Structure 1
Amino acid sequence: MLLPPPVGTALPLVKTLADTVDFGKTVLPFVDQLYALPQQILQAGADTQALKHLYLTTNPLISGFAFALAITPIFLIVSEINKNYSQVDRCWSLLPTVYNLHYNIWARMNGLPTQRLDNILAFSVCWSIRLTFNYWRRGGYSVGSEDYRWETVRSWVNRPLFFIFNILFICIAQSVLLFMVTAPTYILMLASRLSGQNMNTTDILFARGLLALVVLEFFADGSQWNFHKAKHAYQKTAKVPAGWTREDLEPGFNTTGLFRYSRHPNFLGEQLVWVTLYQWSCVETSSLYNWTGIGAMSYLILFQSSTWLTEKLSAEKYPEYKIYQQRVGKFLPKLTGPGWGDYLEAQKKAPKKN
């Protein structure tokens, strides 16, 4: 029977908090494990003890990254067979939590402190539940709507170029991105190994802040769902549902609740979630920045481009959307200038056209 090896064989030897964010000490020494892993898995075969031994002797960042790469051919094959290029989108709500769970399990099996990892996993599970529920709920009104972005992109380029785009960006880059946003958990695991089990006040604030952001997203999702439900009922029956006005529904896009102050409050919360996790790793290690910020920064870039495309299509579909863009901030509320409420008041006072 194979026994778990000493932790030092799979984790870097770090003596200070500065060491925990040193890419040369915490990542590069284990890159060779990535190359050797496929052959080692084949050699282990169905031997559970050998697989367990391999899992424990492989750096958790490397094994997580290997998994992110291994699932990309599945996304590619399924998307090409079904001609639906949202296969990564369908796993979006699950994969970050899978990686956070992986770090938690690996740390427990190696006897490392897990209190910070437990709190990260708790927030991550709540995040996944909220996103999965919202994805499932949206299907009633917009089956396949998650694919409209890729259908639009596909209409802009020829088939060979889109196939390359599907491989490099949709399947590989997005899968790796969902792994990278959880890389700060690896840093926090290393830091916990030095600082010990108990969470301090800063840790508690970050953990509660992450949960608060998930709650923000939940309310934004609920507002969006209620609006579309009311809009579809209004379009079907020409009767304004209780609790709504014609001014709320006739523009065709949601301007109520949080959406009166931010065009995408759910997107705001989504970006802040992973930036906050990254900042937690910076504060815990007393560093201004570290290499795991690549994940959070890439997430912001992705949302900027995705939101640009979403708004481009909305502006083409809804005549008043450009006015909404001028008066309401994309993510953060505008602190100066007239808002959407001012526009509605002006519309009420404007002379009626014959």
Structure 2
Amino acid sequence: MIVPPSLVALPAVQTVTDCADFSLSIVPYLPQLRQLPQLVWQHIADADALRALYVSTNPAITALAFALFLTPLVLVVSEFNRNYSQVDRLWSFLPAIYNAHYTLWAHMAGLHTEKLDHIMAISTLWSIRLTFNYWRKGGYSVGSEDYRWEVLKPILGPTLMFIFNVLFISLAQNLLLFAITTPTYIILLTSRVIGSEMGTVDNVFSRLMFFLVLVEFFADQQQWNFQQAKKKYQNTAKPASNYTREALDRGFVTSGLWAYSRHPNFAAEQAFWVALYQWGCFQTEVFANWTFVGAIGYLVLFQASTWFTERITAKKYSDYKIYQKSVGKFLPGWNSKSGSQFP
């Protein structure tokens, strides 16, 4: 198989602003999306041909093809098992895989990769944190399912739940996990114009994203510590030394980061991917580019998911509505009446 040089898989951009142009960076390569499955199948037993095909295919198209490939797989598994948490199980590492893919492709194409290496490293830390937190809550155990889907199933009924599974759970979520990493593709393109060495602002974005991972870690740990203390208290009627009976009887954590935000982990999670998007904007010297679809989609998803989660929580705990009025949903003092800590 004759394969063109790897750089043919990237647009011949002249300026960093060109890198943010959807008509230049993506549209010319969309036909590859249709050709790729057939080419992979034709050379499935030839490792050298597959490697050449990988390098000669636009990396964003490869990532998109992989997301579309996963969609029917998770759909079939979820319907067969009647468990709609299949994408949830992939959530913690798919974005890191996409970012690693862009970095690997750049290495194989002979491009400078310093910025991509930083993004891959931070994404890996993000993935480890999320995977560990999901695992210890039993998210990977057999039969486990996100409680939101359990609540939603009887509301929608079998037919609407199937449609919802096809369009949102399996397709939209897979596309979203691809979309939030597309700024990495933009940064890959800019390396051909300005190189990939880390500058001052690049270091700021890198450290900001690392800090946000730390915020998520501490927020998750505080939630875990409280839930473990509550479980022990319910079994022994003896509160842990660092929690009062009132706090444990309330049923939900309101201390630490949770005294300033009702969802500090969600706030940091959204900010992490928005920061990556802003990094891409900085690299292309524009205020906005087409990769905003991923960042905006992530924000919308978390708004809807958090609203639904809080409806369930407010029905479960009588004091939760007071907490909602006292503490901001994501940011301290934002969308709350008092702007103060919850007592």
TM-score with structure 2 setting the length: 0.96
Matching of residues 167-186 of structure 1 within 5 Å:
167-186=166-185
What is the alpha-carbon distance in structure 2 between the residues aligned to residue 211 and residue 147 of structure 1?
27
Q: CA shift at 1:146, angstroms?
A: 4.8
The reply on whether 1:16 has 2:22 as its aligned counterpart is: no
User: C-alpha distance in 2, partners of 1:121/1:3?
Assistant: 31
SS at match of 1:126: helix
CA change 1:244–1:322 in 2 (3 A) is same
Q: Deviations over 1:236-267 (max 9, x none)?
A: 11111121111221110110100011000000
The CA RMSD measured in Å over matched residues stands at: 1.7
**Larger radius of gyration, structure 1 or 2?**
1
Contact 2:183–2:280, Cα closer than 8 Å, also in 1: yes
Runs ≥4 in structure 1, deviation > 6 angstroms?
142-145
Q: Partner amino acid for 1:234?
A: Y
Q: How far off is 1:191 after superposition?
A: 0.7
* CA positional deviation for 1:158: 2.1
Corresponding residue for 1:132? 131
Q: Does 1:63 align with 2:62?
A: yes
What's the offset of the Cα at 1:144? 6.2
Tell me how far apart the structure 2 counterparts of residues 121 and 237 of structure 1 sit (CA, whole Å).
45
Residue 6 and residue 154 in structure 1: after superposition, are their counterparts in 2 closer, same or farther (change >3 A)? same
Moved more, 62-71 or 43-52: 43-52
Q: What is the identity, as a one-letter code, of the residue corresponding to 2:238?
A: K
Cα distance in 2 between the residues matched to 1:315 and 1:301: 21
1:44 alignment counterpart: 43
More off after superposition, 218-227 vs 144-153: 144-153
Per-residue deviation, 1:8: 3.1
1:35 aligns to what? 34
Q: 1:41: how far off? A: 1.1
Indicate if the aligned counterparts of 2:333 and 2:340 stay in contact, CA closer than 8 A. Answer: no
Any gaps of 5 or more consecutive residues in structure 2?
Answer: none
Tell me what 2:25 maps to. 26
Aligned to 2:295: 296
Letter in 1 for 2:295: A
The answer on whether the counterparts of 2:7 and 2:109 sit within 8 Å (CA) in structure 1 is no
Q: 1:90 aligned to 2:89? A: yes
Residues 214, 144 of structure 1: alpha-carbon distance in 2 compared, 3 angstrom cutoff: farther
Q: Is this contact kept in 1: 2:266–2:302, CA < 8 A?
A: yes
Match of 1:199 in 2: 198
1:211 is matched with 210
Alignment-derived partner of residue 110 in structure 1: 109
Unaligned 5+ runs, structure 1: 345-354
Q: Does 1:305 align with 2:330?
A: no
Residue 338 of structure 1: CA displacement? 3.6
DSSP 3-state at the match of 2:49: helix
In the alignment, residue 176 of structure 2 is paired with which amino acid?
Answer: L
**Rounded Cα–Cα distance in structure 2 between residues aligned with 1:250 and 1:290:** 48
Aligned residues: 341
Give yes or no for the alignment of 1:324 onto 2:323: yes
Change (3 A) 1:87 1:221: same
**Structure 2 residue 285 is matched with structure 1 residue 286:** yes
How far the C-alpha of 1:14 sits from its partner, in A, is 0.1
Contact preservation (8 Å) 1:85, 1:170: yes
